[in-house]
Structure 1
């Protein structure tokens, strides 16, 4: 099976090319990328008989928004934010499509909250994709100003998760 980074690269390449549809099959896995009228659809399936079907994320344009045609621009939905946009604010974005979790388990405290000071290697959340739990690090040193997503929410590749005021 392809790694997440390889899938991301495929999405970018397909998006920039004139190819409308791409399918990759290997053993019991299948990945299908399809462009339709300036929107990119990504479908990832596991077809092993012993596994339950995997949820199929599909990127679709939001009502009232211009249709830009890339997974990245469609995933970057404008959020109503009480915090002013500032050059010192860094956006921690999701490196993959998956489910956002603010803590390691439902009983545990969240990794971070507004006002938490983080370092580059501080774990800020988990994004679960295809039954793999991926720890997301802050990548910058600073203070968490705002959490932009809810616990258990489905997130897209490139979607902002946190705003950090860099030191």
Structure 2
């Protein structure tokens, strides 16, 4: 599946009333969840999909797709995703300390990074309380919409 096809697929789901989508074709498994939907971890074993709702989807060529099978089975993990396309900045200015580092505790709504888009700097807040487990992107990297930025171990 090419990036453009995947983006088209995501746009179709975002515009529909479906909150969570699971797709399986051979060894290829895709789980897509809208931002704001209940945080779920997919379990692809011994489950059957409800086929009552059918959406027009781009053609899938599983041979062209590279799948990252990172294990996120632990339900206390949450991924902060990019709300927009832009350039990722870990610090407010080049001389400052990063907003967060691995091991840092963050509070919901606390700024974790800045995304620059069209010369505008947009603060990205944490959407949960917890500990930063992993920073998934590099300072200055171009980020896509929905791209995972941080893994957070949610505190209760």
TM-score between both structures, scaled by the size of structure 1? 0.54
* Residue in structure 1 matching 2:131, options 123, 143, 150: 143
Structure 2 residue aligned with 1:90: 78
RCO higher in structure (CA 8 A, sep ≥6): 2
Corresponding residue of 1:12: 11
After superposition, the CA RMSD in angstroms is: 3.0
Using the alignment, how far apart are the partners of 1:162 and 1:105 within structure 2?
20
Q: Provide the secondary structure at the position in 2 that maps to 1:115.
A: coil
Q: What stretches of structure 2 of length at least 5 have no aligned partner?
A: 1-9, 17-57
Separation in 1, partners of 2:134, 2:107: 16
The offset of 1:94, in angstroms, is: 0.2
Aligned pair count reads 103
TM-score, length-normalised on structure 2?
Answer: 0.57
Q: Counterparts in 2 of 1:1-167, with a 5 A limit?
A: 12=11, 38=58, 64-65=64-65, 78=68, 84-85=71-72, 86-167=74-155
Structure 1 portions without partners, runs of 5+: 1-10, 18-37, 40-62, 67-76
Provide the rounded CA distance (Å) in 1 between the counterparts of 2:138 and 2:64: 23
3-state SS of the aligned residue for 1:135? Answer: strand
C-alpha distance after superposition, 1:97-150 (max 9, x if no partner): 000000011111100000000000210000111111000000100000000000
1:61-82 Cα deviation digits (max 9, x unpaired): xx9416xxxxxxxxxx73x86x
